[in-house]
Amino acid sequence: MKRRGGLLAFPYAVWMILFTVVPMLLVVWFALTDEDGLPTVGNFIRLWDYGAVFGRSLGLAAVSTVICLLIGYPLAYVLSRETDAMRNTAMLLIMLPMWINILLRTYAWMSILENSGLLNQLLSFLRLPALHIINTPSAVALGMVYNYLPFMVLPVLTVITKIDDSVVEAAQDLGGSQATVFRRVILPLSLPGVLSGITMVFVPAVSTFIISKLLGGGKSMLLGDLIEMQFLGNTYNPYLGSAISLVMMVIVLISMALMNRFGEGEEEVMGL
Amino acid sequence: MKHSRVPGRVLQGFIAVFLYAPILVLIVFSFNATKSRVKFEGFTLDWYAKLFEDRQVLSALYLTLVLAVLSALAATVIGTVSAIGLHNMKRRPRKALLALNNIPVVNPDIITGVSLMLVFLLCVSFLRSLGLRAGLGFTTLLLAHVTFNIPYVILSVMPKLRQLSRNTYEAALDLGANPFQAYRRVILPEIMPGVVSGAIIAFTMSIDDFLISYFTTGTSVQTLPMVIYAMTRKRISPEINALSTLMFLTVLVLLIVINILQSRDQKEKERRFRAVS
Amino acid sequence: MPKELIRLVDCTMAFDGEIVLNAINLTIHDKEFLTLLGPSGCGKTTTLRLIGGFETPTSGGIFFDGARINDVPPHKRRVNTVFQKYALFPHLNVFENVAFGLRIAKIPDGGGKKSRLPEGEIEERVQGALELVGLKGYHRRRVHQLSGGQQQRVAIARAIVNRPQVLLLDEPLGALDLKLRKEMQHELKEIQRQVGITFVYVTHDQEEALTMSDTVVVMNHGNIQQIGTPVDIYNEPVNAFVADFIGESNIIQGVMHKDYSVSFAGRLFECVDSGFDPNQPVDVVVRPEDVRMTPPDGGQLRGTVNSVTFKGVFYEIFIDVGEIEWMVHSTSAPKIGDEVGLLLTPEDIHVMDRPDLFPEGAEALTLEDVDPEPEFEDGGGDGEDGEEA
C-alpha cells in the first residue's frame, strides 16, 4: 500500500524528460546534423581546428586543479585539527566568497592584477619588479584557483573531520610516527574527499567562460568561450556548438567516472 | 599536539588574505571619490546614490528577485512532492529518477544553458509557425530556473525523509489518520527543515545564476548578474563596486541568520539524542 | 474462553517471492494476552503487521469479529499499535501525541453527519490515559525530554486512548534496560487488566513471553510451531525447536524402538512416550535441571566434566559423554576432569517427532543459523534497505 505514493513523482518525471532528457538529446541531435538537417560528422571533424582551445582548456583546468589540491589539502588538514567552533567558523569564511556572484569575484581581481593595479603598486613599493599577469593564461589560472578553491577544501575537510580519532590514536599506539600516521592512515582515508574535490574543481574550471573573458582578455580562449560564441556570438553555429558541448560532456563524464572508480559511497560533502 | 602550530597558522593567514583581499578591494573602492580602480582619492557615497538611480540595475534587481521567489516556490512544491513520491518508490525506478535528477547538478552550467536554449528555440519556432507570438524571455527563464532548482530541493528533502522512522507514517495511519492527513500532520512537519533549506538553496541558486539565464533569456529581459556581466564588459564604473558591496552584505547577513538557525537545530538534535540515550 | 475476536486463516506472506509466513492459522480471543514468540525472522512482526493493516497477506484471510478485513486500511481498523521504537511524533508534545488519534477521529452526531470530538472530552481522555500509564503531569513535556521508559509509556497511552479493541505491541520493551523491562512487564499486564482489551504482543524474549501471556504462539521460519499456555509450552514442547527456544535443553538424536523405549547416546532408555512408528528417528529432549549427577558408576551414562560455570542459583556444568556434550544444572559443583555418572528418569525424557520441515536434520533447528531477518526491526535511517519488508 506504500507503493501508491510513488505516483507523486510522476509529474516531475515528465518534467525531467521535457527539460533534462530532451535537451540533452537535442544537443546530440544538433551535433550530428548540419544546417540542412542532414546527418554529418563534419562538426566533429571541424573540432580539430580548435585543438589549441581544447588543449588550453584542459591544461588550465588541470593546472588549477593541482594548485587547488596543493593549497587546499594542507589547509583542510590544518583546519581539521582545530576545535569544532574554530573549524566551523573557518568553513563559513571559506564558503562566504562562494555566495558572491562569480562575476563580481572575478571582476575584483581585474583591478588587482592590472598593470598599474594594486598588486604592482605593492610590488613597486617593495622595490620589486612589476608583474604582467592580466590578460595572460596565468591570470585565468589564478581566477580559477580563487573561484574554485573552496570546492577542494570543503569536501576534503568534511572527510578528514569524519575520520574517527580512535583510528588515528590506534595508529599512533601501534608505533606510527606523525608522518607515518598521516601517510598510512589519514591520507588514504581522506582520498574520497580529495577525489570529489578534484571533480568539483575540474568540471567548472574546464567549462568556464567568464574567468577567461574577464581575466584572459580574449587572448586565452577556452572551451566555454567557444561554445558561447557558437550560440550567442557572431559565429552563430549551434551545430558546431553542440558538438563542442557534447565533447565537453564526455570529458566531464570521463573525469567523474574516473573519480568514482576510486571513491565510493554517496557524496554529501557540500554541507547545507 | 606535539608539533608547532605556526606553519598552519601562516597557511590559514595566507588563504584568508587570498580569499578576502579582492573583496576588500571591491568594498574600499566603492567609496572612492574618482573612477580610478587603483588609486583611492577620497571618500564618497556617490556611487551608491547613482546605483539607486540606475533604472536598468533596479529593474534587473526586481526581475531577479521575482524570478528567484517564483522559481524557488515552484521548485520547493514540486521538489517536496516528488521527493515523497521518490521515497515511496521501489529501489530501481527511484535510482533511475535520482540519476536523472542529478544531471543538472553535475552538468556544467553552460551545457545546461545551451541545451535548454535549443529546446526553447525549437518551441519558439514551432509556436511561431502556428502564427503565435513567442520568444525567449521571462517564461523560458522561469522554466530554466525551476528546472535547475528542483534537484537541490529534492537533494535536501530526501535525507530528511530517509531519517524518518518508517513507523512514524504507519503510527499516524494506525491512529486513524488517512494517508493525506498522515503526510500533512506528521511527515510534513518532520521534513520541514529540509524543505526550508531546499527553498533557501533554490532561492540563492536562482539569484546567483548567470550562465543558464544568459542562454535562456531574450534580449529584453535581463537579470542582475547579466547586468553585472554587461558592466564588466564596457568601461567600468564604481557603481558595480557599490553593487557588490551591497550584495556581499546581504549574503553575509543571510548566512549569519542561516547559521544561527542551523546551530539551533543542531543543539535541538543533540538534546534529543541525550534524552534518548 | 471468551469469544473469538481475530482469526487468521491460511495466511501466507511473501516478499519478492520469499515466503515469510507460511499459511498460518491463528485465533485470538477477546481480552486475551497473546504473545507471538520466536527468533528474528520467524514472521512474528509480519503477523502483527497483517493484523494492524500495514501488510496485506499474499493469500489467506484475516477476520475481525467475523468480518474479512484483508483490504481495510490501517486507519479504519479498530486496532492500535505500539511500535518497537515508539514512533512518537517529535514535533508534538506529550499531550498532542496522545491526542493525535482523538483529534482525527470523527464521531457520528446522530443527524447523519460526523463531527470532531469536543475539546473537553479530548482533554479528559488524554489525561486519563496519561494517568493510566503513570505520566500524570507530563503532558506539556516535549517528547525528546523523556527517558526511554517514559517514551514507551506515551506510546502506550497514545494507542489505548483511542479505545481500540486490540492493542498490538511490537517488542515494546526491546530498547529498555533489564530492570526497567521487568517493571514494565508488570505494568503492561496491569494496564491490560484495567482497560480489559486484547493484547497481541511480539517478542523474542522467552522469559517475557512466559511471564506475561495467557497464550504463547511459538513461531519459526514463518510457521507456527506451537500454541499453548506458558506452562504447556514449557513443560510439553511439541518439538526440539520449541524445547530449545523455551528454556535450555539437551537435544539428542535418537531412535524410538517401540512404545516406552527409546535409544540414544549409545544405549536404551525407558520413557513415557508412545505412539511412534517402530524404529522412527526422533529428537530426545532433556532439560538440564532434570539430569542428576551421581558417582561414576551410579548412572546410566558416564562422562567427564568439561566446564563448570557459576550462574547464581545453580552451576551450569558441561559433561562430555562420548560424542555428546550434556548440559546439567546443579546446585553442587564437581571439579573439571571429574568422572561422573548421569541419571535420567523416564519422566524427564521427552521424545519428539523430528519435523521433516528441515530435511537436513536437527542442525537446522538451532538458533544460530536462522536467516537474517526480512522484518525491519530496525525502522529508521536505512531507507535503502528497509523498504523491502
Domains assigned to chain C: 4-235 (3.40.50.300), 249-365 (2.40.50.140)
C143 touches C88 (CB < 8 A): yes
CB-based contacts of B184: which residues, under 8 Å, 6+ apart? Answer: none
A101 touches B210 (CB < 8 A): yes
From A134's Cα to the closest Cα of chain B, the distance in A is: 14
B237 in the Ramachandran plot: left (φ > 0), alpha (ψ -120 to 50) or beta?
Answer: beta
pLDDT tens sequence across B110-132: 999 999 999 999 999 999 999 88
> In this predicted structure, what is the pLDDT of residue C49?
92
C170 touches C81 (CB < 8 A): yes
Measure the CA–CA gap between C182 and C197, rounded to whole angstroms. Answer: 21
Say what percent of chain A tops pLDDT 70. Answer: 94
* B261 inside domain: no
Residue with cell 522469559: C207
Q: Taking each helix axis from N to C terminus, what angle separates C148-160 and C119-132, rounded to the nearest 10 degrees?
A: 130
Measure the CA–CA gap between A116 and A108, rounded to whole angstroms. Answer: 14
* B229 inside domain: no
- B227/C111: higher pLDDT: B227
Measure the CA–CA gap between C142 and C146, rounded to whole angstroms. Answer: 7
Phi, psi of C11 (to 5 degrees): -80, 120
Measure the CA–CA gap between B240 and C291, rounded to whole angstroms. Answer: 94
Q: Which chain B residues touch A245 with a CB distance below 8 Å?
A: 110-111, 114-115
Q: Which chain A residues touch B13 with a CB distance below 8 Å?
A: none
From B68's Cα to the closest Cα of chain C, the distance in A is: 30
Assess B26–A contact: CB distance below 8 Å, yes or no. Answer: yes
* B16 inside domain: no
B7: nearest Cα among C200, A135, A78:
A78
| Residue A213 β-bridge partners | none
Triad C199, C200, C201: Cα angle to 5°: 105
Lookup: cell for C356? 521433516
Q: Which chain B residues touch A148 with a CB distance below 8 Å?
A: none
Question: CB-CB: which of C53, C80, C387 is closest to B91?
Answer: C387
A258 touches A251 (CB < 8 A): no
Of all residues in chain A, the one with the smallest CA distance to C56 is: A1
Of all residues in chain B, the one with the smallest CA distance to C82 is: B171
Residue B169 CA, chain-centre distance (Å), reads 31
DSSP state of C377: S
DSSP state of B185: I
Assess C56–A contact: CB distance below 8 Å, yes or no. Answer: yes
Residue with cell 491490560: C192
**What subunits touch chain A, counting only 3 or more CB pairs under 8 A?**
B, C
Query: Across the interface, do B115 and A94 touch by the CB < 8 Å criterion?
Result: no
Strands C33-37 and C198-203: parallel
Q: Print burial letters for C170-184: b (CB count within 10 Å at least 16), e (below 16).
A: bbbbbbbeeeebeeb
Q: Taking each helix axis from N to C terminus, what angle separates B109-129 and A187-207, rounded to the nearest 10 degrees?
A: 40
Question: pLDDT tens, position by position, for chain C (389 residues)?
Answer: 578 999 999 999 998 888 899 999 999 999 999 999 999 889 999 999 999 999 999 999 999 998 999 999 998 898 999 998 888 998 899 999 999 999 988 777 666 677 888 899 999 999 999 999 999 999 999 988 898 889 999 999 999 999 999 999 999 988 788 888 888 899 999 999 999 999 999 999 988 999 999 999 999 999 999 999 999 998 888 888 898 888 888 988 899 988 898 999 888 899 888 888 888 889 898 989 899 999 988 888 999 999 999 988 899 999 999 888 999 999 988 899 999 999 999 988 988 888 654 444 334 333 333 344 344 433 333 333 333 33
| Residue A259 β-bridge partners | none
Query: Across the interface, do C80 and B175 touch by the CB < 8 Å criterion?
Result: yes
Of all residues in chain B, the one with the smallest CA distance to C160 is: B175
Query: Across the interface, do A245 and B115 touch by the CB < 8 Å criterion?
Result: yes
Task: Examine the pLDDT at A2 and tell me if it is beyond 60.
Answer: no
From A66's Cα to the closest Cα of chain B, the distance in A is: 16
Measure the CA–CA gap between C357 and C223, rounded to whole angstroms. Answer: 10
Lookup: cell for A23? 535537451
Task: Report how far apart the first and last C-alpha atoms of chain A are (Å, whole number).
Answer: 33
pLDDT tens sequence across B149-186: 999 999 999 999 998 888 899 999 999 999 899 999 99
Which pTM value belongs to this model?
0.80
The alpha carbon dihedral of C233, C239, C243, C244 has a sign of negative
SS3 at position C74 = helix
> In this predicted structure, what is the pLDDT of residue A120?
86
Measure the CA–CA gap between B119 and A93, rounded to whole angstroms. Answer: 39
Query: Across the interface, do B110 and A19 touch by the CB < 8 Å criterion?
Result: no
> Which residues of C, range 138-157, sit inside 8 Å of B by Cβ?
144-148, 151
The alpha carbon dihedral of C148, C150, C155, C160 has a sign of positive
Measure the CA–CA gap between A28 and A48, rounded to whole angstroms. Answer: 18
Residue with cell 535503502: C384
**Considering all CA atoms of chain A, what is the largest pairwise distance in Å, rounded to the nearest integer?**
78
C344: nearest Cα among C292, C268, C285:
C292
pLDDT band at A4 (very low <50, low <70, confident <90, very high): low
Residue with cell 485470538: C28
Phi, psi of A4 (to 5 degrees): -55, -30
Of all residues in chain B, the one with the smallest CA distance to C16 is: B90
Q: Taking each helix axis from N to C terminus, what angle separates A223-232 and A51-80, rounded to the nearest 10 degrees?
A: 120
SS3 at position B177 = coil
The alpha carbon dihedral of A237, A241, A244, A246 has a sign of negative
C-alpha neighbours within 13 Å on the C-beta side of residue A251: 22
* CB neighbour class for C362 (10 Å; exposed up to 12, middle 13-18, buried from 19): middle
Measure the CA–CA gap between B33 and B8, rounded to whole angstroms. Answer: 39
C-alpha neighbours within 13 Å on the C-beta side of residue A138: 6
Assess B111–A contact: CB distance below 8 Å, yes or no. Answer: yes
C379 touches C50 (CB < 8 A): no
A93 in the Ramachandran plot: left (φ > 0), alpha (ψ -120 to 50) or beta?
Answer: alpha
Measure the CA–CA gap between C96 and C184, rounded to whole angstroms. Answer: 23
What CATH number did the domain enclosing B216 receive?
1.10.3720.10
Assess B16–A contact: CB distance below 8 Å, yes or no. Answer: yes
pLDDT band at A270 (very low <50, low <70, confident <90, very high): very low
Q: What are the strands of the beta sheet with C315-321, ordered from one edge? A: C292-294, C339-343, C301-310, C315-321, C324-330
Measure the CA–CA gap between C173 and C184, rounded to whole angstroms. Answer: 8
Measure the CA–CA gap between B10 and B273, rounded to whole angstroms. Answer: 38
Q: Which domains does chain A have, with CATH numbers?
A: 52-223 (1.10.3720.10)
pLDDT tens sequence across A44-60: 999 999 999 999 999 99
C203: nearest Cα among C239, C163, C164, C230:
C230
Query: What size, in residues, is chain C?
Result: 389
* B252 inside domain: no
From B77's Cα to the closest Cα of chain C, the distance in A is: 21
Q: What are the strands of the beta sheet with C4-15, ordered from one edge? A: C18-29, C4-15, C59-64, C67-68
DSSP state of C66: T
Phi, psi of B161 (to 5 degrees): -65, -40
* B85 inside domain: yes
C264 touches C224 (CB < 8 A): no
Measure the CA–CA gap between C33 and C192, rounded to whole angstroms. Answer: 8
Of all residues in chain A, the one with the smallest CA distance to B156 is: A272
pLDDT band at A155 (very low <50, low <70, confident <90, very high): very high
CB atoms within 10 A of CB A61: 26
DSSP state of A209: -
The average pLDDT across A127-144 equals 89
The average pLDDT across B77-105 equals 92
Question: Which residue type, as a one-letter code, is found at position A57?
Answer: S
* B113 inside domain: yes
**What subunits touch chain B, counting only 3 or more CB pairs under 8 A?**
A, C
Measure the CA–CA gap between A231 and C107, rounded to whole angstroms. Answer: 65
Task: Examine the pLDDT at A267 and tell me if it is beyond 70.
Answer: no
C220 touches C38 (CB < 8 A): yes
Q: What are the strands of the beta sheet with C280-286, ordered from one edge? A: C267-270, C261-264, C250-258, C280-286, C350-353
Lookup: cell for A176? 606510527
From B130's Cα to the closest Cα of chain A, the distance in A is: 21
Measure the CA–CA gap between B216 and B138, rounded to whole angstroms. Answer: 9
Q: How many angstroms separate the Cα of C343 from the Cα of each of A9, A181, C257, C267, C301?
A: 70, 62, 20, 13, 7
Measure the CA–CA gap between A67 and C203, rounded to whole angstroms. Answer: 59
Task: Examine the pLDDT at A20 and tell me if it is beyond 60.
Answer: yes
* B251 inside domain: no
Q: Which domain holds residue B204?
A: 58-224
Question: CB-CB: which of B163, B172, B178 is closest to C381?
Answer: B163
Task: Compute the radius of gyration of chain B from its Cα atoms.
Answer: 24
Query: What size, in residues, is chain B?
Result: 277
Number of H helices and E strands in chain C, helices first, is 9, 22
Q: Which segment of A126-135, A235-244, B60-69 scores lowest on mean pLDDT?
A: A126-135
Mutate which: B87, B94, B158, B167, vs C, most C CBs within 10 A: B167
User: Count of A–B CB contacts within 8 Å?
Assistant: 215
Q: Taking each helix axis from N to C terminus, what angle separates A187-207 and A223-232, rounded to the nearest 10 degrees?
A: 30
Assess B28–A contact: CB distance below 8 Å, yes or no. Answer: no
> In this predicted structure, what is the pLDDT of residue C156?
93
CB atoms within 10 A of CB C26: 21
CB-based contacts of B261: which residues, under 8 Å, 6+ apart? Answer: none
